[in-house]
Structure 1
């Protein structure tokens, strides 16, 4: 039985292969519970997000037609509808990522703190930590936006200081630096959600752990990102094909009733729900991988488990 296997400790120094295996072992052990609770939290959101996705695609196709005719900016109603659907989709996407991240790290933290792992854990038992994580995720998103605005301001100042002809060269030279700084940010969410520290302290620790284990963060993010991308592509293909078919027949002179009927539109809606929900589920691989990368970095830099064993020595 899966539950008879050794518990997957979080704070352990691991090689890349061991981190990869630990991440997949955790998902394999708890995938039913993760799928169940992700469905409870995200499926209602996906039902609305699928509508916004189909609406966004409809108006994107409409705008592409106007661009070909050179009259895109003359139709203000179309532009307003496009940006409305785009704004709604992005808002729902942020909410979905916040909920999923909060759920995954609530489950990982609960798993790590309980001898029984996640056996017998209900959504009601997770609710306090889940709400705690949701609140923290919105704080993290807010500070992330502030940092993004600050970075944009710095780039704007650099653009103003250099001639237009030199600006592309400057950006090319700065790109490796920006990538080097961006990679450690992948640990920000695990640190802030798995530890009881302030947002500022978590940001400091993000850079301290991030630069020390930069290569591991990059590799686990890359590999898990590729896996997530493949799974997202699988979920995307049916909806994408259906949308392309609808566009081809709807714009042809000999269009067919099937592609513009209510039944076909409902089929596209269901495929959009599958696409959106599948995209969220695929993100779980990246979130879990980064959690075990964080555990590795914490143990490597701060020796959390060693300190914990010393503190609890009198209880042994």
Structure 2
């Protein structure tokens, strides 16, 4: 029997390559469970997202068709309303899906880290309390995050009115981008630790500024991998939609491309595309989780050592 590989510790100092390896190893070791739980929780949302995505594209096609022909205000109004409705539905579903996936992935990582048996025998029923806790905390992060964005936007607008020099405004925007980087580990801090949300925000900045470069690198590399995976699942739906648009615009072979069968195929491709987006997110979520674990161990361990060394001076 093949010996079991060492457990992937969450809290450990790692080089950049080791953090990537830890994320990939977690996916490899728990791929069946990740796919099973993700499918169970996310696929129902993707079924609705497929409808909203195709509806959104249909509304866009209707508006595009009017730009090349006669303009009808009533038809334009209904097309715009359809666009707004489907876009709002898609945005809400995407937010719910992102929250649910983040809750699931971090619940699995925390459970894996805390159990000697790792994720062996874990069921969704066992994860339910932790999932609901994570969902509540993520929505709280979203609310506080929106308030922070409004605050920063208000400050930026105020600066534009009193400082007309664009260079200074650009420097402020650059400062905001730099300061926003530590927020990438805000969710891991708040979900992995039992602390208040503002304490989690403070800790995210403390750990984030100390490991700023690592967060940027992990985000770029994992984001690039996610982008490739999203492209693989998006291309079939995108090509099918473009073909439909071309035939509708030229009115050649339109009966074949807008048939019930073709539209159903586009719907299935839209579902696959939406599900692929969520699956690709797992890489970024795990990368940031192990980035947080690295930062927490590196910074907090140094602080504990300093406290021990200075104990005789107290």
TM-score (structure 2 length as normaliser): 0.92
Shift of 1:120: 0.6
The RMSD of aligned alpha carbons is 2.1
Shift of 1:151: 1.4
Q: Which runs of 5+ in 1 are unaligned?
A: 311-316
* Conserved? CA contact 2:12–2:297, under 8 Å: yes
Q: Relative to 1, partners in 2 of residues 1:3 and 1:43: Cα closer, same or farther, differing over 3 Å?
A: farther
Structure 1 match to 2:152:
151
For residues 270 and 32 of structure 2, the distance between their equivalents in structure 1, rounded to whole angstroms, comes to 23
Structure 2 match to 1:42:
42
The answer to whether the aligner puts 1:63 opposite 2:30 as a matched pair is no
* 1:263-300 deviation digits (Å, cap 9, x = unpaired): 00000000000000010000000000000000000001
Q: Relative to 1, partners in 2 of residues 1:254 and 1:16: Cα closer, same or farther, differing over 3 Å?
A: same
Shift of 1:3: 7.3
* 1:80-123 deviation digits (Å, cap 9, x = unpaired): 11111111110100000000000000000000000000011011
Shift of 1:256: 3.1
Shift of 1:63: 2.2
| Misfit runs of 4+, over 4 Å | 67-74, 304-307
Q: Relative to 1, partners in 2 of residues 1:70 and 1:181: Cα closer, same or farther, differing over 3 Å?
A: farther
Shift of 1:306: 7.5
Aligned length: 305
Q: Relative to 1, partners in 2 of residues 1:200 and 1:90: Cα closer, same or farther, differing over 3 Å?
A: same
Q: Relative to 1, partners in 2 of residues 1:28 and 1:125: Cα closer, same or farther, differing over 3 Å?
A: same
* 1:59-91 deviation digits (Å, cap 9, x = unpaired): 112223334569597722211111111111101
Structure 2 match to 1:221:
219
Shift of 1:154: 1.4
For residues 170 and 266 of structure 1, the distance between their equivalents in structure 2, rounded to whole angstroms, comes to 52
Structure 1 match to 2:312:
none
* Conserved? CA contact 1:56–1:86, under 8 Å: yes
**Residues 6-155 of structure 1: matches in 2 within 5 Å?**
6-68=6-68, 71=71, 75-155=76-156
Q: Which runs of 5+ in 2 are unaligned?
A: 309-314
TM-score (structure 1 length as normaliser): 0.91
Structure 2 match to 1:314:
none
